């Protein structure tokens, strides 16, 4: 019989969550779903990600989604092998995507355990209940060259929304996204028309009535917003206020900045499987075709398995290849990223080299202009602080070679520096938004990611082409197109001139950024609303 010999799937080892206790084995008839992630087509040679970068001359090597899928997707023979494996163990293939290189399998816990050589159990932990496993996944030797990850057997929460609801009202009042965009001199004469902004959400939902009320208050037409279900995730407002706040903040900030853009929200479960599959679904979406994707969820890079980190990296590398910019919140818990060991951690997926990591500032505005701007750090009053630091796993990318990124202080690893850029994020001076029928003030690097996504949509429209993987160009441009933040810290790293591990290059100067990219005069700043 085939599939008899076994080998541990590289990078799949799992430990239980600290403090977790196994309460019972998984019921043998419990339905389990898993995503098998496959290698790129055997003859595929994906060039270095920098070759997909936008340049100041507009030279770029983007492929269409269809071309990329045909060249770099999964081979038909690999997909057939996985389907034969599924049949052997009485598993059902519920979805297969050559372009995304994924096969989604479902079946009973008993059959999943036999198929992947692992034991599943239910756990109670300080961070909630979950179905989990320990040790590595064991796969048949025939699958070893094909399979890069198996996600979803363990369904622990992998991320949290990077938002902060204000505990104390700002003396000067919160800002609308339009006021922030005006202070940052976002280009006018464009509204994001022709662009689609994808937003990844791992919970919560939106209500159209709230969106209509919010945008009416800004004297804007409500953008076209639609939802896509991934792995059973759905638009479900009302179950979790924090998740609803995240969803509404993302839509309202991006939609206010680029009201002419379509917004597509990809809802997925908060698991490594759901997060990965939401990104690949958005990146390879040939119907909606987002040109920019905003992500405001994440977790410490150390909390991910190696296979999951690699799968996430491959997913965002695909985005660079097809000309999609991904803006991601850097985290709201300072240099430790909220870990109880008080060591330094960066957040994933913001630490992945092909994405634009977005840190946070404390911004005050007077008469439509920036009055003061410092690193967001309100830890003393339990209002959070911007994430940032140096990766322990992802090496320093070539675009950061001259940025002065320090080695990771604890491991001395020359890692990817986070963030790349920043935006207003302090909840004390946060954004006016509407959530679950109420107006409220929310901050967090969750706001910086959709703010930058909206800006990218405006720039794409103005340029007439997709910026895509913009990081190398931003690092060539340097601080001249940014408001350089030189005061403050995030609990360990200190702000400084040029790039730093709190705010990257700083917050955007939209007009200077357009001039730097196009060499043409930009239009005047949007008036304060």
Whether residue 111 sits in one domain with residue 173: no
| 8 A C-beta contact, residue 113 and residue 37 | no
Q: Which pTM was predicted?
A: 0.96
Domain boundary among the residues 121, 151, 181 is at 151
Distances (CA, A) of 390 to 98, 178, 402: 34, 32, 15
- pLDDT, mean of residues 38-61: 81
H or E segment to which residue 514 belongs: helix 510-518
Same domain for 373 and 514, yes or no, is yes
Co-location of 444 and 403 in the same domain: yes
User: What's the rounded mean pLDDT across residues 181-190?
Assistant: 96
Average pLDDT over residues 433-445: 95
Q: Which two tokens stand for residue 27?
A: 């019921």
pLDDT computed for residue 60 by the predictor: 78
What confidence score (pLDDT) does residue 169 get?
57
| 115 and 255 housed in the same domain | no
- Over residues 288-311, the pLDDT tens digits come to 999 999 999 999 999 999 999 999
Please count the other Cβ atoms lying within 10 Å of the Cβ belonging to residue 497: 11
Domain boundary among 151, 179, 209: 151
pLDDT tens-place string over residues 203-259: 999 999 999 999 999 999 999 999 999 999 999 999 898 899 999 999 999 999 999
Residues 6+ apart with CB under 8 A from 3: 85, 88, 89, 140, 142, 143
Note the pLDDT tens digit of each residue in 476-527. 999 999 999 999 999 999 999 999 999 999 999 999 999 998 864 334 334 3
Q: Which residues contact 87 (CB under 8 A, 6 or more apart)?
A: none
Domain range spanning residue 80?
A: 6-39+74-151
Instruction: Out of 109, 133, 151, pick the residue that ends a domain.
Output: 151
Measured CA to CA, the distance from residue 76 to residue 321 in angstroms comes to 21
Selection from 71, 99, 94, 72 nearest residue 83 by Cα: 94
Across 35-54, average pLDDT = 86
Both 224 and 107 in a single domain? no
Give the active site residues.
Answer: 246, 250, 446
Q: Tell whether 140 and 178 lie within a shared domain.
A: no
Same domain, 193 and 141: no
- Please indicate, yes or no, whether residues 106 and 232 belong to a single structural domain of this protein: no
Q: Are 38 and 103 in contact (CB under 8 A)?
A: yes
Q: Please check whether residues 394 and 488 belong to one and the same domain.
A: yes
Burial of 59 (0-12, 13-18, 19+ CB in 10 A): exposed
**Residues 284 and 138 occupy one common structural domain:** no
Domain count, the chain: 2
Contacts 24+ apart (CB under 8 A), 208-213: 209/437, 210/248, 210/434, 210/435, 210/436, 210/437, 211/248, 211/251, 211/252, 211/255, 211/434, 213/434
Q: CATH number for the domain including 420?
A: 3.40.50.200
pLDDT recorded at residue 4: 80
Structure confidence at residue 428 (pLDDT): 86
The SS3 call for residue 263 is strand
Percentage, residues of the chain above pLDDT 90: 88
């Amino acid at each position: 019989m085939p599939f008899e010999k076994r080998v541990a799937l590289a990078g799949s080892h799992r430990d239980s969550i600290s403090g977790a206790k196994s309460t019972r084995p998984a019921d043998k008839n419990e339905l389990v779903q898993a995503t098998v992630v496959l290698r790129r087509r055997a003859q595929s040679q994906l060039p270095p990600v920098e070759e997909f970068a936008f340049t100041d001359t507009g030279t770029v090597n983007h492929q269409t989604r269809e071309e990329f899928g045909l060249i770099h997707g999964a081979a038909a023979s690999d997909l057939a092998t996985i389907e034969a494996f599924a049949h052997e163990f009485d598993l059902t293939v519920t979805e297969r995507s050559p372009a995304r290189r994924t096969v989604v399998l479902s079946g009973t816990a008993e059959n999943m355990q036999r198929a992947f050589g692992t034991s599943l159990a239910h756990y109670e932990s300080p961070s909630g209940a979950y179905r989990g496993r320990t040790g590595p996944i064991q796969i048949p030797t025939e699958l070893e060259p094909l399979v890069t990850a198996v996600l979803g057997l363990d369904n622990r929460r992998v991320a949290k929304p990077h938002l902060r609801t204000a505990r104390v009202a700002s003396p000067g009042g919160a800002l609308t996204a339009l006021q922030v965009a005006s202070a940052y001199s976002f280009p006018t004469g464009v509204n994001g028309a022709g662009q689609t902004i994808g937003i990844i959400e791992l919970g919560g939902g939106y209500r159209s009535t709230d969106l209509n009320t919010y945008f009416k208050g800004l004297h804007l037409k409500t953008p076209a917003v639609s939802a896509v279900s991934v792995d059973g995730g759905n638009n479900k407002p009302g179950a979790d206020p924090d998740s609803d706040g995240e969803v509404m903040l993302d839509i309202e900030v991006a939609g206010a900045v680029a009201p002419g853009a379509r917004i597509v929200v990809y809802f997925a479960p908060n698991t490594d499987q759901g997060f990965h599959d939401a990104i690949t679904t958005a990146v390879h979406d040939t119907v909606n075709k987002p040109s920019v994707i905003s992500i405001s969820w994440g977790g410490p890079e150390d909390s991910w398995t190696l296979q999951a980190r690699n799968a996430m990296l491959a997913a965002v590398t695909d985005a660079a290849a097809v000309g999609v910019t991904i803006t991601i919140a850097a985290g709201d818990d300072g240099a430790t990223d909220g870990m109880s060991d008080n060591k330094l951690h960066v957040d994933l997926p913001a630490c992945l080299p092909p994405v634009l990591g977005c840190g946070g500032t404390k911004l005050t505005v007077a008469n439509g202009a920036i009055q003061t701007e410092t690193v967001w750090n309100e830890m003393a009053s339990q209002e959070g602080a911007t994430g940032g630091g140096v990766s322990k796993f992802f090496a320093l990318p070539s675009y950061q070679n001259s940025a002065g990124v320090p080695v990771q202080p604890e491991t001395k690893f020359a890692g990817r520096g986070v963030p790349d850029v920043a935006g207003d994020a302090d909840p004390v001076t946060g954004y006016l938004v509407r959530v679950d029928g109420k107006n409220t003030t929310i901050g967090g690097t969750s706001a910086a990611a959709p703010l930058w996504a909206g800006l990218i949509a405006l720039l794409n429209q103005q340029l007439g082409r997709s910026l895509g993987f913009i990081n190398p160009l931003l690092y060539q441009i340097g601080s001249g197109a940014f408001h350089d933040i030189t005061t403050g810290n995030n609990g360990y790293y200190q702000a400084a001139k040029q790039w730093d591990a709190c705010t990257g290059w700083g917050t955007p100067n939209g007009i200077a950024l357009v001039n730097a990219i196009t060499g043409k005069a930009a239009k005047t700043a949007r008036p304060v609303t």
